[in-house]
Structure 1
Amino acid sequence: MPRFLHVADVHLGLDRYDTPQRTKDFFLAFRDVLERYAIDEQVDFVLIAGDLFEHRQVLPAVLNQAQVCFEMLREAGIPVLAIEGNHDNRPYATKTSWLRYMADWEYVILLEPKEDTEDGASLFDPWTPEAKAGGYIDLPCGVRVLGSRWYGASAPQMIEKLAHSIQQLPPGPPHTVMMFHHGMDGQIARYTGALRLEAVNPLREAGVEYLALGHIHKNYELEGWIFNPGSIEANSIAENLQQTPRGAYLVEINGTGIRAELKQDYYQRRMIRLNLEANKQQTQAELEQAAIAYIQSAAKSGKTPDAIVELRIHGQVGFNRLDLNVRDLRDELHQLSEALIFLLKYDAIGTEYETPMIGNGEEPPPRTAIELQAYTDLLAANNAYQDQAGAIAKGLVELKDLVLDNRPEAELYELAQQLLKDPTT
């Protein structure tokens, strides 16, 4: 019974959040997955269904990370079969890529069908160790593995051609697996170009028993033959495990069919999303203290240290929302949380008052009344002046008139000071 590990979207070298330790997380996750579910499980082979690397241009340290992982598998006698994804495919009009480099040095078997044929000839040549190239390979464990390319918007048309080419291949092992880097319809929102089930069905009709997908970072499976493990590690806080399940598939093909287990128990950076609701009765200082107390409690409970933490402040504030220094507050919360990365989302809205001045065909009110109401609304939106908004508004109208009369600054200052001290006198 052949057994294999199916991973995708490893994204070695991802540098989001500009933290070297975060980049290292992707290497640690990949290495741990291979140790636990390929080497320890003694699988026959490993599939990488696209996006081994985050960037087409790979830094030396990232290349070394990939070599370390593949050297472990080579010492264990486990072959690695891979295809290019949209992140690591060769640039247009070039003949090589870093994944091709890994193949030339025999770290992976890169399966690449021909780009296209005009005469209807097969897209698949057998992979040979001499050429270190080919579109499919027949393994001793009884599995034929087919590769593909990143096809983008042309994927539906290419699937038809790939399926036709598969049917032209000579008889092979009893089981057929194919790697394909593309997403299926209905799995995530706002994803254009996803494939409908009917678009990939020609592959099943051509004999593919297990379609090993990559590209979408969320785990899903369809119809008992289409499997997408999701990314090895979350690429952003939005892909935390609670919202985006993901992992690696440990697969066994036996006489009764396919048994694919999603494995998630391996090294992953903890990600915590927290929410704090603002109260419009709070002053700015009170809201800041509430955020500090919340994070202190989370840190004390052990949730935030060494994690990637996002705090979202939402609700309604009773002061000008722009008065809150988000950067300074974030830096203070980051230090208190002891998190690797701390993200602060300030989504609270300000309090707005709007008084209709004209209605039912009435004459517009005098200018003074409009000014008085405008000042009152602005003051009422700030809880520091809310209780005295009417009195202060009258004083502001008077102050404006004095300014227009070119009264001495000392007189203006005296009135302003009086308003702030006791606006009712």
Structure 2
Amino acid sequence: MPKFLHIADIHLGFDRYDTPERTKDFFRALQTVLERYAIEEGVDFVAIAGDLFEHRNIKPATLNQAQVCLQALKDANIPVLAIEGNHDNRPYGTRTSWLKYLSEWNLLKLLEPNEGGEVENRLLPWNDATRAGGYIDLPCGVRVVGSSWYGATAPRAIELLANAIEALPPGPDYTVLLFHHGLEGQIARYAGALRYSELLPLQAAGVDYLALGHIHKNYTAEGWVFNPGSLEANNVEESRFKRGAYLVDLSPQGIDAQLKTDYFQRPVVRVELVAKGQESLDELTQLAIDRAIAAAAQYEDDPAPILELKITGQVGFDRLDLDTRRLQESIQSASQALVVLIKYEVEDVAYQTPLNEGQNRVEIEQTIFEDMLAAHRDYKRRAPELARGLSDLKDRQLAGVDETELYSLVETLLDLPSAVTAPPTQAAADG
């Protein structure tokens, strides 16, 4: 009974968050998956459905990571069959890629259709001498067919692939097709996804197991379409998706595809702190640090987590007074998180002091002035004094006091230098 491992979207060389440890996570994920579910399980082959690499152009260390993993499979006599995804496909007009390089060095077999050929020549059998071919018949009784990255032309490519598969000579009992594209309805804001009905020509052509990649979330469809998701989360949002690797048994009774998730994955913890508008800057900062430390402490026996702190609600101070960079550094130092991300999405409180029943007009006015001044970083320390001054200024203006005297009062209130004077009179302006 054939057994294989289906993985996709490995993204070796991932380089976001500016930390080498995070880049190594993607290597650790691949290495532990292959050790536990390919080598220890003794599978007949490993299928990689696109995006082995994060970039088309990779660093030497990234190539070395791929070689280490693939060599371990070669030493265990487990063939690796792969296709290119949108991240690692060769640029238009070029003849090679790093996947092609690995294929030429006999570390994997890159299965590629002959896109320009006639239907009978579109899928050529794998040739070990030329290191090229569109499909391969394995001794375990499985025919594995490759494809390319088609993007928006995927519906038409499916029709051509289905015709080419039907034109192949009789082969093993099972046919597996590697295809890098997403199915609609799986994630939001994904344009160009395929409708399920557009896959049906492949099933009619004899594909028993459609091995998908591209979407970083695990899903299946109708018992023959399988997408394992990425091995590791590429961002915090993706951490909520179920993902893994499919360990697949094929038998006359059907397909038994088990999603395996017990391998190295960096923990991701997301924390939200809702400000009530009553906290001082120092109090809110300490609350944020305490909340983040408590959340990270849940993973003290695991690798250091990626921690996202989201601060929402309202603040009773100038929102720009909170130094998010400094807060990020404080949390990272105190929590020992690998990466700390801060989302600061608060609004300033217009009036933070509740009005008491029975207050008269003067008291209400004083309260409002104090709140407005307390929200300003330059005036908050003198808010009560300045609020009284504003009330006095308003009363004098309503009483018709001369503008020169009013500006003199403002100058006194704000301790402005003597250079600040009243506005010029009309006579002075006329020169």
TM-score normalised by length of structure 1: 0.86
Query: Which residue of 318, 321, 345 corresponds with 2:319?
Result: 321
Shift of residue 5, structure 1, vs aligned partner = 0.1
- Checking the alignment, whether the CA contact within 8 Å between 1:156 and 1:199 is kept in structure 2 is yes
Counterpart in 1 of 2:362? none
3-state SS, counterpart of residue 24 of structure 2? helix
Contact preservation (8 Å) 2:296, 2:305: no
Query: In the TM superposition, what whole-angstrom CA distance separates every residue of 1:157-204 from its partner, at most 9, and x where no partner exists?
Result: 110011011100000001000000000000000000000001011000
Q: Is the 8 A contact 1:48 1:81 kept in 2?
A: yes
2:51 counterpart letter in structure 1: D
The equivalent position to 2:272 in structure 1, one of 271, 275, 281, is: 275
Taking every aligned residue pair, what percent have the same amino acid on both sides?
54
Work out whether residues 177 and 211 of structure 2, in 8 Å CA contact, stay in contact via their aligned partners in 1.
Answer: yes
Q: 1:237 corresponds to which residue? A: 236
Structure 2, unmatched stretches of 5+, are: 352-364, 416-431
Distance 1:188 1:403 in 2: 66
Query: What corresponds to 1:156 in structure 2?
Result: 155
1 CA distance for matches of 2:58 and 2:163?
A: 35
- C-alpha contact (below 8 Å) 1:12/1:26 kept by paired residues: yes
1:221-300 superposed matches below 5 A? 221-240=220-239, 243-300=240-297
- Quote the offset at 1:63 in angstroms: 0.4
Q: 2:328 is matched with which residue?
A: 330
Structure 1 residues 403 and 299: CA distance shift in structure 2, 3 A: farther
- In structure 1, what is the Cα distance between the partners aligned to 2:404 and 2:167? 94
1:188 and 1:386 map into 2 onto residues whose CA distance is 50
Letter in 1 for 2:269: I
Please state how far the C-alpha of 1:394 moved relative to its aligned partner. Answer: 2.2
Matches within 5 A, 1:24-423: 24-117=24-117, 119-240=118-239, 243-302=240-299, 306-352=304-350, 378-379=372-373, 391=388, 393-395=390-392, 397=394, 405=404, 412=410, 414-416=412-414
Preserved contact between residue 13 and residue 53 of structure 1 (Cα < 8 Å): yes
The alpha carbon displacement at 1:397 in A equals 4.9
Count residues with an aligned counterpart: 396
Structure 1 partner of 2:418: none
SS at match of 1:191: coil
Q: Is the 8 A contact 2:120 2:168 kept in 1?
A: no
Aligned to 1:423: none
Q: Provide the C-alpha distance between the structure 2 equivalents of 1:405 and 1:398, rounded to a whole number of angstroms.
A: 15
Please tell me the residue identity of whatever aligns with 1:205: A
In the alignment, the residues of structure 1 paired with residue 303 and residue 169 of structure 2 have an alpha-carbon distance, to the nearest angstrom, of 57
CA distance in 2, matches of 1:395, 1:234: 60
* Structure 1 stretch displaced more, 398-407 or 98-107: 398-407
Amino acid at match of 1:263: K
Specify whether residues 387 and 187 from structure 1 end up closer, same or farther in structure 2 by C-alpha distance, changes over 3 A only.
Answer: farther
Q: Calculate the TM-score normalised by the size of structure 2.
A: 0.85
Contact residue 271 and residue 310 of structure 2 kept, 8 A: yes
Deviations 1:79-102 (A, max 9, x none): 000000000000110000000000
1:299–1:229 distance in 2 versus 1, CA, 3 Å: closer
What's the CA shift string for 1:117-156, capped at 9, x where partnerless? 4x54441011110111000000000000000000000000
- Aligned-residue RMSD, C-alpha: 2.8
